[in-house]
Amino acid sequence: MSRESLLTTSVGSLPKPDYLVRARAARARGGITQHDLDELARQATREWIALQEQIGIDVLVDGEQYRGDMVAYFAENLDGMAISGLVRSYGNRYYKKPIAVGPIRRPQPITVAWWEFAQSLTERPVKGMLTGPYTICDWSFDDHFGSRREMVMALAEVVRQEAADLEAAGARYIQIDEPAVSTRLDELELAVEAMGIVTSGLRAHTTTHMCYGRFEEVYPRLLDIPVDEIDLEMTNSGLDLLERFREHPFTKDIGFGVIDVHSHRIPPVEEVKGHIYRALEYLAPEQVYIDPDCGLKTRTVEEARRMLETVQQARDEVRAELASGKVPSPV
């Protein structure tokens, strides 16, 4: 459990400023060098770290300014993974889906240098951000393994290596995102086993983020996932799950999403405080991290800033109210 109550954080991705979006398009056309693009990604990272500090967020993220897709980024940096032709997701949106084409190996650390750069900019902890083996498998084609289990286990080993390197570099928080788990809850045991490989031996605080799930169907089995904290999209889909916590207490730390990020609406601070107080009916304050529901990369820079400010202000007011005894003590 965390030592301080109601720490604020965010789920991972943050929107890319316009200059970086344009630079990424130019890079895709061969118009600028990778070195120049990386320099702009560092500039955007500096801006986001500074903004999170200014808002007062407790546990920071680098905003993934150097990544495109959360699965393709890892696939591009692993031996044994290739990228397919275009596949449609919806409407006129297409993406290049990764393919497992051979034994999967990590030739060198993937995210560690970016994490070190972000951490060098602040005294506050910056989370190491990884995509979990189950999600990389589920969102890729398989032209090599022939079994989902084998592919997930092979990916678990390379994600484990990356997590260990992040910890060795000094990361105190490591998040391993598994949004795909919610699409096939019948494979939860496989995801649990793979996560066990990734987090085995880590001393850092480990988190996994999930979204879009009917998690009430697999609660309390969800608590089997071997991490210190599970971050859930509570406002968009999970407040119903709270009722289940009365029967089966949530035994880990929880990342409690308090703003629906799929909407352009910035909720009033009072509404967000209401979600925090709902959480405290079931959870101890030391157990709860407060954040938006999901990554913010689909919002505008301005929307993301206002959402983070709203989260922080709601947390600060709730903390003050609890300290002054204005509200009844939580559980």
Partner 1 sequence: MIATAVSHYPKLGDGPGEQALRLAIGRVDRGEAGPEEIERAAEAMTAAAIKEQEAAGLDLVTDGQIRWQDPITYAATRLQGLEIGGLLRWFESNTYFRQPRPSPGIELAWTGPILREDLEFARRHATRPVKAVLTGPYTIGTLSDPSHLGHRRFVLELARALNQELRSLAEARPEWIQVDEPAIVNNPSVRYERDFSLFRDAMAVLTEGVDAPLSLYTYHGDVADVPKLLELPFRLFGFDFVQGPANWDLLREWPQEKGLGLGIVDARNVRLEEIGSLVEQVGRAVALTGEGLIHVSPSCGLEFLPRETARRKLELVARATHAQGVTV
Binding site for partner 1 (CB under 8 A): 84-92, 94, 97, 99, 139, 141-143, 146, 183-186, 212, 214, 217
Q: Which is nearer to partner 1, 45 or 237 (CB)?
A: 237
Provide the 10 A C-beta neighbour count for residue 199.
22
Tokens of 34: 């990778």
Q: Which is nearer to partner 1, 214 or 265 (CB)?
A: 214
Contact residues for 108 (Cβ-Cβ < 8 A; gap 6+): none
Amino acid type, 8: T
Residue 201 burial (CB < 10 Å; 0-12/13-18/19+)?
A: exposed
Residue 138 to residues 148, 180, 233, 271: CA-CA distances in angstroms? 8, 7, 20, 35
Q: Which is nearer to partner 1, 44 or 99 (CB)?
A: 99
Q: What is the C-alpha to C-alpha distance for residues 95 and 97, in angstroms, rounded to an integer? A: 6
Q: What is the 3-state secondary structure (H, E, C) of 89-136?
A: EECCEEEEEEEEEEEEECCCCCCHHHHHHHHCCCCCCECEEEECHHHH
Q: Which is nearer to partner 1, 21 or 331 (CB)?
A: 21
Q: Which is nearer to partner 1, 182 or 206 (CB)?
A: 182
Q: What is the C-alpha to C-alpha distance for residues 234 and 275, in angstroms, rounded to an integer? A: 9
Q: How far is the CB of 147 from partner 1 (least distance, A)?
A: 11
Q: What is the C-alpha to C-alpha distance for residues 193 and 49, in angstroms, rounded to an integer? A: 34
Strands, sheet with 205-210, edge to edge from the N-terminal-most edge strand = 7-8, 288-291, 253-257, 229-232, 205-210, 173-177, 128-131
Q: What is the C-alpha to C-alpha distance for residues 177 and 104, in angstroms, rounded to an integer? A: 19
Q: How far is the CB of 276 from partner 1 (least distance, A)?
A: 26
Q: Which is nearer to partner 1, 24 or 262 (CB)?
A: 262
Q: Which is nearer to partner 1, 88 or 246 (CB)?
A: 88
Tokens of 214: 């009917």
Q: Which is nearer to partner 1, 118 or 259 (CB)?
A: 259
Q: How far is the CB of 17 from partner 1 (least distance, A)?
A: 22
Q: How far is the CB of 144 from partner 1 (least distance, A)?
A: 8
Q: How far is the CB of 194 from partner 1 (least distance, A)?
A: 17
Amino acid type, 142: D
Q: Which is nearer to partner 1, 19 or 94 (CB)?
A: 94
Q: How far is the CB of 107 from partner 1 (least distance, A)?
A: 23
Q: What is the C-alpha to C-alpha distance for residues 69 and 49, in angstroms, rounded to an integer? A: 21
Tokens of 196: 């066990």
Q: How far is the CB of 264 from partner 1 (least distance, A)?
A: 14
Q: How far is the CB of 164 from partner 1 (least distance, A)?
A: 29
Q: Are 11 and 293 in contact (CB under 8 A)?
A: yes
Q: How far is the CB of 183 from partner 1 (least distance, A)?
A: 4
Q: What is the C-alpha to C-alpha distance for residues 235 and 272, in angstroms, rounded to an integer? A: 9
